[in-house]
Amino acid sequence: MQTEMAGIETRGDVLRRTGRIMVIAAGMTAVMSFTIGMLVFGRDLAAPITVGQMQAFGLTAGVFIGVTLSGAMSYRAGMLMLALAQTRRELAQISQTDQLTGLLNRRGFDAEAAAALDQAQADGAAVAMLMCDIDHFKAINDRYGHEIGDKVLVEIADVLRQFATRHGALVARYGGEEFAAVVTGLSHEQAAHGAEEIRRDCAGRTILDGVTQLPVTISIGFTVKETGFDLGSLLRTADQALYAAKRHGRDRVEHARDAA
């Protein structure tokens, strides 16, 4: 169905497809009419036909052909609608997913994070927002090339994905070498431990460029809020803590209230 739909690009394609369907419908009608006629009147073409036989033929043929064709067309239309719905879902997923890492992109994260904040507010749970940035990523790209840079991004994304699995977090590649995570129900100490967990796991990863192993570190800023959640405010506060971590030497975690 999707292959057939992919071939419809112009009004002419629609008209040609409609014509083919009409020809098929006419052929089916002719075949079914002939078959029903043989059943009602028999094989003797010279045999006399009564009015009752004609009425029986007309009623039987009309009902059978109408039901069969409408059922076939309804099924076909239903399959086309199903294909369209699947295509819409796939496009929506693509539009909200980072193609390199498989994580949510900024658009997808903002949408799902907003829903998570609403749920946390309803549950009375605290929210921790983490912003992570790969240290010296531009230098990595400049020295080793974008292929190695992409491998670095994939490795860091894998660390975030494992963190999300362990803690029920929502994680994303928020842009460039920056990643974001939001997790609910954590205290300040638990959020700090989780951020340190991410930093430590990233530092433990190495990227092999064919000659040497490239160590990778990240800086993390986080904030914890217990009520009155606003996504934009949380992101800005965590981002400020992230830049403090950068200023204070990188490869470290900073909480917003401690950032200076």
- CA dihedral 185→188→192→197, nearest 10 degrees, is -20
CA distance 101 to 205: 16
| Annotated catalytic residue 226 | no
DSSP string of 23-72, one letter each residue:
HHHHHHHHHHHHHHHHHHH-S-TTS---HHHHHHHHHHHHHHHHHHHHHH
Residue 128 contacts residue 183 (beta carbons within 8 Å): yes
Any idea which residue has 């803690």 for tokens? 167
> Which of these is catalytic: 90, 147, 155, 177?
177
| Burial 21-53, CB ≥16 within 10 A → b, else e | eeeeeeeeeeeeeeebbeebbeeeeeeeeeeee
Give catalytic residue positions.
177
